[in-house]
A and B are shown apart, each in its own frame.
Chain A
Amino acid sequence: MSHTSSDHHGQRSTTPVAFIAFAWTLVGVPLAYGLYNTVKAAGALFGG
Protein backbone atom coordinates (compact mmCIF):
# COMPACT_ATOMS: atom_id res chain seq x y z
CA MET A 1 0.00 0.00 0.00
CA SER A 2 1.57 3.27 -1.05
CA HIS A 3 0.78 6.92 -1.15
CA THR A 4 -0.17 8.05 -4.63
CA SER A 5 1.50 11.47 -4.84
CA SER A 6 4.73 11.97 -6.70
CA ASP A 7 7.84 14.05 -6.10
CA HIS A 8 9.42 16.41 -8.59
CA HIS A 9 11.07 13.56 -10.42
CA GLY A 10 7.65 12.04 -11.03
CA GLN A 11 8.34 9.07 -8.73
CA ARG A 12 5.52 7.51 -6.75
CA SER A 13 5.65 7.63 -2.96
CA THR A 14 7.33 4.64 -1.41
CA THR A 15 6.18 5.37 2.15
CA PRO A 16 3.36 3.01 3.18
CA VAL A 17 0.16 4.93 3.85
CA ALA A 18 -0.53 2.61 6.80
CA PHE A 19 2.70 3.73 8.46
CA ILE A 20 1.85 7.40 7.94
CA ALA A 21 -1.61 6.75 9.43
CA PHE A 22 0.00 4.93 12.38
CA ALA A 23 2.38 7.83 13.06
CA TRP A 24 -0.44 10.37 12.95
CA THR A 25 -2.61 8.19 15.18
CA LEU A 26 0.21 7.85 17.70
CA VAL A 27 0.43 11.62 18.13
CA GLY A 28 -3.25 12.30 17.44
CA VAL A 29 -4.72 10.10 20.17
CA PRO A 30 -2.92 11.79 23.11
CA LEU A 31 -3.64 15.18 21.61
CA ALA A 32 -7.34 14.33 21.32
CA TYR A 33 -7.31 13.10 24.94
CA GLY A 34 -5.78 16.41 26.06
CA LEU A 35 -8.20 18.45 23.99
CA TYR A 36 -11.21 16.55 25.32
CA ASN A 37 -10.17 17.10 28.93
CA THR A 38 -9.40 20.78 28.37
CA VAL A 39 -12.70 21.44 26.62
CA LYS A 40 -14.44 19.67 29.51
CA ALA A 41 -12.63 21.91 32.01
CA ALA A 42 -13.36 25.02 29.95
CA GLY A 43 -17.05 24.05 30.02
CA ALA A 44 -17.21 25.44 33.59
CA LEU A 45 -16.71 28.87 32.06
CA PHE A 46 -19.99 28.59 30.23
CA GLY A 47 -21.90 27.17 33.16
CA GLY A 48 -21.16 23.53 32.32
Chain B
Amino acid sequence: MALPGFLQRERIVARPGFNRWLIPPAALAVHLCIGQAYATSVYKASLVTHFDTTLTAIGIIFSIAIVMLGLSAALFGTWVDRNGPRAAMFTSAVFWVSGFLVGGLGIETRQLWLVYLGYGVIGGIGLGIGYISPVSTLIKWFPDRPGLATGMAIMGFGGGALVASPLSRQLMSWYDPAYDPSVAGTTPNGDAVAALFFTLAALYAVFMMFGAFIVRVPADDWKPAGFDPASVKKKALVTTENVSANNAIKTPQFWLLWTVLFCNVTAGIGILEQAAPMIQDFFRTGETSTVAAATAAGFVGLLSLFNMAGRFAWSTTSDFIGRKPIYMVYLGVGIILYVILALFGSSATWVFVLTAAIIISFYGGGFATVPAYLRDLFGTYQVGAIHGRLLTAWAAAGVAGPLIVNGVLDTQGTPGQLVAANYRPALFIMVGLLAVGFVANLLIKPVAEKFWEPKAVTPATARADAERSPVR
Protein backbone atom coordinates (compact mmCIF):
# COMPACT_ATOMS: atom_id res chain seq x y z
CA MET B 1 0.00 0.00 0.00
CA ALA B 2 1.41 3.35 -1.06
CA LEU B 3 2.06 5.87 1.70
CA PRO B 4 0.52 9.36 1.59
CA GLY B 5 2.93 11.80 0.00
CA PHE B 6 3.81 13.67 3.18
CA LEU B 7 5.08 10.45 4.79
CA GLN B 8 7.27 9.30 1.93
CA ARG B 9 11.02 9.14 2.41
CA GLU B 10 11.67 11.24 -0.72
CA ARG B 11 9.76 14.13 0.85
CA ILE B 12 12.02 14.30 3.90
CA VAL B 13 15.45 14.29 2.31
CA ALA B 14 17.23 17.22 3.97
CA ARG B 15 18.16 20.18 1.84
CA PRO B 16 21.78 21.33 1.83
CA GLY B 17 22.52 23.22 5.02
CA PHE B 18 20.06 21.32 7.23
CA ASN B 19 21.35 21.20 10.80
CA ARG B 20 21.63 17.61 12.02
CA TRP B 21 21.16 18.67 15.66
CA LEU B 22 17.44 18.82 14.95
CA ILE B 23 17.37 15.03 14.63
CA PRO B 24 18.11 14.06 18.28
CA PRO B 25 15.13 16.04 19.63
CA ALA B 26 12.94 14.43 16.95
CA ALA B 27 14.09 11.02 18.18
CA LEU B 28 13.70 12.05 21.82
CA ALA B 29 10.15 13.27 21.17
CA VAL B 30 9.24 9.70 20.27
CA HIS B 31 11.35 7.82 22.81
CA LEU B 32 10.29 10.02 25.75
CA CYS B 33 6.68 9.08 24.97
CA ILE B 34 7.06 5.35 24.44
CA GLY B 35 9.32 5.13 27.53
CA GLN B 36 6.07 5.44 29.51
CA ALA B 37 5.94 1.65 29.18
CA TYR B 38 8.24 1.44 32.21
CA ALA B 39 5.97 3.61 34.35
CA THR B 40 2.97 1.29 34.47
CA SER B 41 3.54 0.50 38.15
CA VAL B 42 2.00 3.86 39.15
CA TYR B 43 -1.53 2.64 38.32
CA LYS B 44 -1.10 -1.13 38.69
CA ALA B 45 -2.70 -1.32 42.16
CA SER B 46 -5.64 0.85 41.01
CA LEU B 47 -6.38 -1.48 38.11
CA VAL B 48 -6.25 -4.53 40.40
CA THR B 49 -8.97 -2.93 42.55
CA HIS B 50 -10.93 -1.53 39.60
CA PHE B 51 -11.13 -4.86 37.77
CA ASP B 52 -11.31 -6.86 41.03
CA THR B 53 -8.56 -9.15 39.77
CA THR B 54 -5.01 -10.25 40.59
CA LEU B 55 -1.70 -8.46 40.21
CA THR B 56 -0.69 -11.13 37.69
CA ALA B 57 -3.73 -10.41 35.49
CA ILE B 58 -2.80 -6.73 35.43
CA GLY B 59 0.90 -7.48 34.97
CA ILE B 60 0.00 -9.31 31.75
CA ILE B 61 -0.85 -5.95 30.15
CA PHE B 62 2.81 -4.91 30.38
CA SER B 63 4.06 -8.35 29.33
CA ILE B 64 1.90 -8.31 26.18
CA ALA B 65 3.22 -4.84 25.32
CA ILE B 66 6.88 -5.93 25.65
CA VAL B 67 6.33 -9.11 23.63
CA MET B 68 4.57 -7.03 20.93
CA LEU B 69 7.49 -4.59 21.06
CA GLY B 70 9.93 -7.38 20.22
CA LEU B 71 7.69 -8.91 17.56
CA SER B 72 6.78 -5.67 15.81
CA ALA B 73 10.39 -4.40 15.85
CA ALA B 74 11.46 -7.67 14.22
CA LEU B 75 8.58 -7.83 11.73
CA PHE B 76 8.39 -4.17 10.70
CA GLY B 77 12.11 -3.34 10.81
CA THR B 78 12.54 -3.70 7.05
CA TRP B 79 9.41 -1.61 6.43
CA VAL B 80 10.81 1.09 8.71
CA ASP B 81 14.13 1.13 6.86
CA ARG B 82 12.40 1.24 3.46
CA ASN B 83 9.90 3.98 4.25
CA GLY B 84 12.00 6.20 6.47
CA PRO B 85 11.65 7.70 9.93
CA ARG B 86 8.66 9.99 9.34
CA ALA B 87 6.40 7.16 8.22
CA ALA B 88 7.68 5.04 11.11
CA MET B 89 7.25 7.73 13.76
CA PHE B 90 3.80 8.64 12.42
CA THR B 91 2.70 4.99 12.43
CA SER B 92 4.17 4.47 15.88
CA ALA B 93 2.27 7.52 17.16
CA VAL B 94 -1.01 6.27 15.69
CA PHE B 95 -0.60 2.84 17.32
CA TRP B 96 0.71 4.15 20.66
CA VAL B 97 -2.02 6.78 20.99
CA SER B 98 -4.74 4.36 19.82
CA GLY B 99 -3.47 1.90 22.40
CA PHE B 100 -4.11 4.42 25.16
CA LEU B 101 -7.54 5.31 23.79
CA VAL B 102 -8.68 1.69 23.48
CA GLY B 103 -7.09 0.86 26.85
CA GLY B 104 -8.82 3.85 28.47
CA LEU B 105 -12.11 2.69 27.00
CA GLY B 106 -11.48 -0.76 28.46
CA ILE B 107 -10.93 0.74 31.92
CA GLU B 108 -13.99 2.96 31.61
CA THR B 109 -16.21 0.02 30.59
CA ARG B 110 -14.48 -2.48 32.94
CA GLN B 111 -13.46 -4.73 30.04
CA LEU B 112 -9.97 -5.99 30.86
CA TRP B 113 -9.62 -7.69 27.47
CA LEU B 114 -9.91 -4.26 25.86
CA VAL B 115 -6.94 -3.09 27.94
CA TYR B 116 -4.97 -6.16 26.81
CA LEU B 117 -5.88 -5.37 23.21
CA GLY B 118 -5.41 -1.62 23.50
CA TYR B 119 -2.35 -0.95 25.63
CA GLY B 120 -0.88 -4.45 25.18
CA VAL B 121 -1.32 -5.35 21.51
CA ILE B 122 -1.99 -2.05 19.72
CA GLY B 123 0.23 0.04 21.98
CA GLY B 124 2.92 -2.65 21.90
CA ILE B 125 3.10 -2.40 18.11
CA GLY B 126 3.58 1.36 18.50
CA LEU B 127 6.34 0.66 21.02
CA GLY B 128 8.28 -1.62 18.66
CA ILE B 129 8.02 0.62 15.60
CA GLY B 130 8.73 3.73 17.68
CA TYR B 131 11.77 2.21 19.38
CA ILE B 132 13.56 1.46 16.10
CA SER B 133 12.15 4.40 14.09
CA PRO B 134 14.96 6.95 14.64
CA VAL B 135 17.91 4.57 15.03
CA SER B 136 19.17 4.15 11.46
CA THR B 137 18.45 7.81 10.71
CA LEU B 138 20.56 8.94 13.67
CA ILE B 139 23.39 6.65 12.62
CA LYS B 140 23.32 8.13 9.10
CA TRP B 141 23.31 11.72 10.44
CA PHE B 142 26.11 10.99 12.93
CA PRO B 143 28.52 8.62 11.16
CA ASP B 144 31.30 10.23 13.19
CA ARG B 145 29.55 9.67 16.58
CA PRO B 146 26.95 6.87 16.22
CA GLY B 147 27.21 5.89 19.88
CA LEU B 148 26.47 9.43 21.03
CA ALA B 149 23.53 9.72 18.63
CA THR B 150 21.81 6.46 19.49
CA GLY B 151 22.69 6.95 23.16
CA MET B 152 20.74 10.22 23.16
CA ALA B 153 17.63 8.62 21.66
CA ILE B 154 17.66 5.45 23.72
CA MET B 155 18.37 7.53 26.83
CA GLY B 156 14.99 9.07 26.04
CA PHE B 157 13.33 5.68 26.44
CA GLY B 158 14.78 5.45 29.96
CA GLY B 159 13.82 9.07 30.57
CA GLY B 160 10.24 8.47 29.45
CA ALA B 161 9.49 6.56 32.63
CA LEU B 162 11.04 9.31 34.76
CA VAL B 163 8.67 11.80 33.15
CA ALA B 164 5.55 9.61 33.07
CA SER B 165 5.71 8.44 36.71
CA PRO B 166 5.42 11.82 38.49
CA LEU B 167 3.21 13.23 35.73
CA SER B 168 0.78 10.32 36.03
CA ARG B 169 0.59 10.65 39.82
CA GLN B 170 -0.05 14.38 39.51
CA LEU B 171 -2.75 13.95 36.85
CA MET B 172 -4.51 11.17 38.75
CA SER B 173 -4.55 13.29 41.91
CA TRP B 174 -6.40 15.96 39.91
CA TYR B 175 -8.89 13.46 38.47
CA ASP B 176 -9.48 11.78 41.84
CA PRO B 177 -9.28 14.34 44.69
CA ALA B 178 -9.36 11.50 47.23
CA TYR B 179 -6.03 10.26 45.93
CA ASP B 180 -2.91 11.77 47.51
CA PRO B 181 0.32 10.47 45.92
CA SER B 182 2.33 11.57 48.96
CA VAL B 183 0.37 9.24 51.25
CA ALA B 184 1.53 5.63 51.04
CA GLY B 185 -1.17 3.07 50.44
CA THR B 186 -3.71 5.32 48.70
CA THR B 187 -4.66 4.52 45.12
CA PRO B 188 -6.63 6.49 42.54
CA ASN B 189 -9.95 5.12 41.30
CA GLY B 190 -10.40 3.49 37.89
CA ASP B 191 -12.02 6.55 36.33
CA ALA B 192 -8.93 8.57 37.19
CA VAL B 193 -6.73 5.98 35.46
CA ALA B 194 -9.00 6.04 32.39
CA ALA B 195 -8.83 9.85 32.32
CA LEU B 196 -5.03 9.57 32.65
CA PHE B 197 -4.94 7.27 29.60
CA PHE B 198 -6.97 9.78 27.53
CA THR B 199 -4.77 12.68 28.66
CA LEU B 200 -1.55 10.82 27.90
CA ALA B 201 -2.96 9.90 24.48
CA ALA B 202 -3.45 13.59 23.67
CA LEU B 203 -0.03 14.64 25.00
CA TYR B 204 1.81 11.82 23.25
CA ALA B 205 -0.01 12.52 19.97
CA VAL B 206 1.32 16.09 19.95
CA PHE B 207 4.87 15.13 20.96
CA MET B 208 5.27 12.20 18.61
CA MET B 209 3.80 14.04 15.64
CA PHE B 210 6.21 16.89 16.33
CA GLY B 211 9.07 14.39 16.10
CA ALA B 212 7.64 12.90 12.92
CA PHE B 213 7.33 16.24 11.21
CA ILE B 214 10.78 17.64 12.03
CA VAL B 215 12.74 14.48 11.23
CA ARG B 216 14.76 14.39 8.01
CA VAL B 217 17.02 11.88 6.30
CA PRO B 218 20.39 12.98 4.92
CA ALA B 219 21.00 13.07 1.18
CA ASP B 220 22.90 10.05 -0.14
CA ASP B 221 26.16 11.94 -0.53
CA TRP B 222 25.91 13.93 2.71
CA LYS B 223 28.59 13.72 5.36
CA PRO B 224 29.42 15.97 8.33
CA ALA B 225 31.90 18.80 7.88
CA GLY B 226 35.46 17.56 8.24
CA PHE B 227 34.41 13.91 8.51
CA ASP B 228 36.65 11.38 6.82
CA PRO B 229 34.99 7.92 6.58
CA ALA B 230 38.43 6.35 6.25
CA SER B 231 39.16 7.34 9.86
CA VAL B 232 36.21 5.22 11.03
CA LYS B 233 37.35 2.22 9.08
CA LYS B 234 40.68 2.26 10.93
CA LYS B 235 38.91 0.83 13.99
CA ALA B 236 38.73 -2.94 14.31
CA LEU B 237 35.41 -4.60 13.30
CA VAL B 238 34.08 -1.45 11.61
CA THR B 239 32.97 -2.05 8.06
CA THR B 240 32.03 0.30 5.26
CA GLU B 241 30.28 -2.59 3.51
CA ASN B 242 26.57 -3.34 3.92
CA VAL B 243 24.69 -6.48 4.89
CA SER B 244 20.94 -6.92 4.41
CA ALA B 245 18.70 -7.86 7.34
CA ASN B 246 17.95 -11.24 5.76
CA ASN B 247 21.64 -12.01 5.40
CA ALA B 248 22.54 -10.58 8.80
CA ILE B 249 20.53 -13.22 10.65
CA LYS B 250 22.51 -15.90 8.79
CA THR B 251 25.78 -14.65 10.26
CA PRO B 252 27.31 -15.92 13.52
CA GLN B 253 27.97 -12.27 14.43
CA PHE B 254 24.24 -11.55 14.68
CA TRP B 255 23.59 -14.48 17.00
CA LEU B 256 26.69 -13.78 19.08
CA LEU B 257 25.49 -10.22 19.57
CA TRP B 258 21.98 -11.54 20.28
CA THR B 259 23.55 -13.67 23.06
CA VAL B 260 25.51 -10.67 24.36
CA LEU B 261 22.38 -8.52 24.55
CA PHE B 262 20.30 -11.32 26.04
CA CYS B 263 22.85 -12.00 28.81
CA ASN B 264 23.40 -8.33 29.61
CA VAL B 265 19.67 -7.55 29.73
CA THR B 266 18.77 -10.68 31.70
CA ALA B 267 21.38 -9.82 34.35
CA GLY B 268 20.15 -6.22 34.60
CA ILE B 269 16.47 -7.16 34.75
CA GLY B 270 17.33 -9.54 37.59
CA ILE B 271 18.11 -6.52 39.77
CA LEU B 272 15.59 -4.07 38.31
CA GLU B 273 12.67 -6.44 38.79
CA GLN B 274 13.45 -7.00 42.47
CA ALA B 275 15.02 -3.65 43.34
CA ALA B 276 12.76 -2.46 46.16
CA PRO B 277 12.36 -5.77 48.08
CA MET B 278 15.97 -6.69 47.37
CA ILE B 279 17.54 -3.75 49.21
CA GLN B 280 15.25 -4.36 52.18
CA ASP B 281 16.07 -8.08 52.24
CA PHE B 282 19.81 -7.44 52.08
CA PHE B 283 19.61 -5.44 55.30
CA ARG B 284 17.08 -7.54 57.15
CA THR B 285 17.49 -8.84 60.65
CA GLY B 286 14.72 -11.23 61.56
CA GLU B 287 11.35 -9.73 60.65
CA THR B 288 12.55 -6.14 60.22
CA SER B 289 14.78 -4.40 57.71
CA THR B 290 16.98 -1.42 58.47
CA VAL B 291 15.96 -0.05 55.06
CA ALA B 292 12.52 1.61 55.15
CA ALA B 293 10.01 1.35 52.29
CA ALA B 294 10.52 5.03 51.40
CA THR B 295 14.27 4.49 51.19
CA ALA B 296 13.71 1.45 48.98
CA ALA B 297 11.59 3.63 46.66
CA GLY B 298 14.48 6.10 46.57
CA PHE B 299 16.77 3.25 45.57
CA VAL B 300 14.46 2.42 42.63
CA GLY B 301 14.60 6.10 41.59
CA LEU B 302 18.39 6.07 41.77
CA LEU B 303 18.53 2.97 39.59
CA SER B 304 16.31 4.71 37.01
CA LEU B 305 18.77 7.60 36.92
CA PHE B 306 21.75 5.31 36.41
CA ASN B 307 19.82 3.34 33.79
CA MET B 308 19.21 6.53 31.85
CA ALA B 309 22.64 8.05 32.38
CA GLY B 310 24.36 4.79 31.41
CA ARG B 311 22.55 4.82 28.09
CA PHE B 312 24.07 8.15 27.16
CA ALA B 313 27.44 8.03 28.91
CA TRP B 314 28.54 4.48 28.03
CA SER B 315 27.24 4.62 24.47
CA THR B 316 29.12 7.89 23.92
CA THR B 317 32.25 6.35 25.45
CA SER B 318 32.00 3.51 22.93
CA ASP B 319 32.69 6.02 20.13
CA PHE B 320 36.15 6.47 21.62
CA ILE B 321 37.13 3.02 22.89
CA GLY B 322 35.16 0.87 20.42
CA ARG B 323 32.09 -1.30 20.70
CA LYS B 324 33.72 -4.63 21.52
CA PRO B 325 35.84 -3.19 24.38
CA ILE B 326 32.84 -1.41 25.93
CA TYR B 327 30.87 -4.68 26.01
CA MET B 328 33.91 -6.31 27.63
CA VAL B 329 33.51 -3.66 30.33
CA TYR B 330 29.73 -4.18 30.66
CA LEU B 331 30.08 -7.93 30.93
CA GLY B 332 33.54 -8.35 32.52
CA VAL B 333 33.23 -5.63 35.15
CA GLY B 334 29.59 -6.71 35.53
CA ILE B 335 30.81 -10.17 36.62
CA ILE B 336 33.06 -8.64 39.28
CA LEU B 337 30.26 -6.36 40.49
CA TYR B 338 27.78 -9.22 40.73
CA VAL B 339 30.27 -11.23 42.80
CA ILE B 340 30.82 -8.21 45.10
CA LEU B 341 27.05 -7.80 45.39
CA ALA B 342 26.55 -11.46 46.26
CA LEU B 343 29.38 -11.72 48.77
CA PHE B 344 29.71 -8.24 50.27
CA GLY B 345 26.48 -6.45 49.29
CA SER B 346 25.02 -6.74 52.77
CA SER B 347 28.14 -5.35 54.48
CA ALA B 348 27.12 -1.70 54.00
CA THR B 349 24.28 0.14 52.25
CA TRP B 350 26.70 2.19 50.15
CA VAL B 351 28.38 -0.96 48.83
CA PHE B 352 25.01 -2.40 47.80
CA VAL B 353 23.71 0.84 46.25
CA LEU B 354 26.90 1.70 44.38
CA THR B 355 27.35 -1.81 42.99
CA ALA B 356 23.74 -2.13 41.86
CA ALA B 357 23.75 1.36 40.33
CA ILE B 358 26.83 0.64 38.19
CA ILE B 359 25.35 -2.72 37.09
CA ILE B 360 22.17 -0.93 35.98
CA SER B 361 24.19 1.71 34.12
CA PHE B 362 25.78 -1.18 32.17
CA TYR B 363 22.28 -2.57 31.49
CA GLY B 364 21.22 0.76 29.97
CA GLY B 365 24.54 1.12 28.17
CA GLY B 366 24.07 -2.29 26.56
CA PHE B 367 20.77 -1.20 25.03
CA ALA B 368 22.10 2.11 23.75
CA THR B 369 25.38 0.83 22.31
CA VAL B 370 23.96 -2.09 20.37
CA PRO B 371 22.70 -0.09 17.32
CA ALA B 372 26.20 1.36 16.83
CA TYR B 373 27.70 -2.14 17.22
CA LEU B 374 25.31 -3.34 14.49
CA ARG B 375 26.33 -0.42 12.29
CA ASP B 376 29.99 -1.35 12.77
CA LEU B 377 29.36 -4.97 11.80
CA PHE B 378 26.66 -4.74 9.14
CA GLY B 379 26.82 -1.17 7.79
CA THR B 380 23.99 1.33 7.58
CA TYR B 381 21.97 -0.26 4.74
CA GLN B 382 19.32 -2.05 6.84
CA VAL B 383 20.63 -1.38 10.33
CA GLY B 384 17.13 -0.49 11.60
CA ALA B 385 15.71 -3.81 10.44
CA ILE B 386 18.65 -5.74 11.90
CA HIS B 387 18.24 -3.85 15.17
CA GLY B 388 14.55 -4.75 15.19
CA ARG B 389 15.37 -8.45 14.86
CA LEU B 390 18.01 -8.23 17.56
CA LEU B 391 15.44 -6.81 19.98
CA THR B 392 13.87 -10.27 20.23
CA ALA B 393 16.75 -10.81 22.68
CA TRP B 394 15.16 -8.15 24.88
CA ALA B 395 11.78 -9.86 24.76
CA ALA B 396 13.43 -13.19 25.65
CA ALA B 397 15.43 -11.60 28.48
CA GLY B 398 12.27 -9.94 29.76
CA VAL B 399 10.86 -13.41 30.33
CA ALA B 400 14.09 -15.13 31.45
CA GLY B 401 15.33 -12.51 33.95
CA PRO B 402 12.32 -12.42 36.25
CA LEU B 403 11.83 -16.20 35.85
CA ILE B 404 15.36 -16.89 37.09
CA VAL B 405 15.20 -14.49 40.02
CA ASN B 406 11.65 -15.32 41.10
CA GLY B 407 12.21 -19.04 40.53
CA VAL B 408 15.30 -19.09 42.73
CA LEU B 409 13.75 -16.92 45.44
CA ASP B 410 10.69 -19.16 45.56
CA THR B 411 12.96 -22.04 46.58
CA GLN B 412 14.71 -19.93 49.23
CA GLY B 413 11.85 -18.80 51.42
CA THR B 414 8.87 -16.50 51.82
CA PRO B 415 8.86 -12.92 50.52
CA GLY B 416 9.28 -10.54 53.43
CA GLN B 417 11.53 -13.00 55.27
CA LEU B 418 14.34 -13.38 52.75
CA VAL B 419 17.90 -12.27 53.55
CA ALA B 420 21.00 -11.53 51.48
CA ALA B 421 22.16 -15.16 51.39
CA ASN B 422 18.89 -16.20 49.71
CA TYR B 423 19.78 -14.05 46.70
CA ARG B 424 23.23 -15.59 46.18
CA PRO B 425 22.15 -18.50 43.92
CA ALA B 426 20.29 -16.09 41.59
CA LEU B 427 23.20 -13.64 41.58
CA PHE B 428 25.69 -16.38 40.74
CA ILE B 429 23.44 -17.54 37.87
CA MET B 430 23.71 -13.97 36.58
CA VAL B 431 27.51 -14.18 36.92
CA GLY B 432 27.40 -17.31 34.75
CA LEU B 433 25.18 -15.59 32.18
CA LEU B 434 27.50 -12.59 32.02
CA ALA B 435 30.44 -14.96 31.49
CA VAL B 436 28.59 -16.53 28.54
CA GLY B 437 27.94 -13.05 27.13
CA PHE B 438 31.59 -12.08 27.67
CA VAL B 439 32.80 -15.09 25.65
CA ALA B 440 30.19 -14.43 22.92
CA ASN B 441 31.45 -10.86 22.62
CA LEU B 442 35.06 -12.05 22.39
CA LEU B 443 34.11 -14.36 19.51
CA ILE B 444 32.69 -11.54 17.37
CA LYS B 445 34.80 -11.02 14.25
CA PRO B 446 34.18 -8.97 11.08
CA VAL B 447 31.36 -10.29 8.88
CA ALA B 448 32.47 -12.54 6.01
CA GLU B 449 32.55 -11.03 2.51
CA LYS B 450 29.96 -13.49 1.16
CA PHE B 451 27.24 -11.69 3.16
CA TRP B 452 28.01 -8.23 1.74
CA GLU B 453 25.52 -6.52 -0.53
CA PRO B 454 26.59 -5.80 -4.11
CA LYS B 455 27.70 -2.19 -4.40
CA ALA B 456 24.87 -1.35 -6.83
CA VAL B 457 22.26 -2.00 -4.13
CA THR B 458 23.55 0.82 -2.00
CA PRO B 459 24.45 3.65 -4.35
CA ALA B 460 25.29 6.01 -1.53
CA THR B 461 27.93 3.67 -0.23
CA ALA B 462 29.22 3.03 -3.70
CA ARG B 463 29.65 6.75 -4.26
CA ALA B 464 31.25 7.25 -0.87
CA ASP B 465 33.59 4.32 -1.38
CA ALA B 466 34.74 5.74 -4.67
CA GLU B 467 36.12 8.71 -2.73
CA ARG B 468 38.15 6.71 -0.28
CA SER B 469 40.60 3.88 -0.01
CA PRO B 470 39.58 0.22 -0.45
CA VAL B 471 37.80 -1.34 2.46
CA ARG B 472 39.41 -4.73 2.80
Contact = CB atoms under 8 A, between A and B. Distances in A.
Interface string B151-163: 0000010010111
Nearest to A41: B301
Contacts of B299: 42, 45
B343 interface: no
* Chain B interface helix/strand/loop/mixed: helix
Interface residues of A, number: 32
Interface string A17-48: 00110011011001101110111011111101
Contacts, number: 111
Nearest to B294: A44
B232 interface: no
B17 A45 contact: no
Interface in B157-173: 159, 161-167
B195 to A, nearest CB: 20
A20 B166 contact: no
Nearest to B39: A34
B25 A42 contact: no
Contacts of B294: 44
Contact of B159 (A3, A6, A31): A31
Contacts of B164: 34
Interface of B: 15-19, 21-22, 25-26, 28-29, 32, 156, 159, 161-167, 207, 210, 214, 222-227, 292, 294-295, 297-302, 304-305, 353
8 contacts: A26-B29, A27-B32, A31-B32, A31-B162, A33-B166, A38-B166, A39-B305, A42-B305
Interface of A: 3, 5-9, 11-15, 19-20, 23-24, 26-27, 30-31, 33-35, 37-39, 41-46, 48
Given A27-B29, A34-B159, A45-B298, 15 more contacts: A3-B19, A8-B225, A8-B226, A8-B227, A12-B17, A15-B17, A20-B25, A26-B207, A27-B28, A30-B32, A35-B159, A42-B298, A42-B305, A44-B294, A46-B298
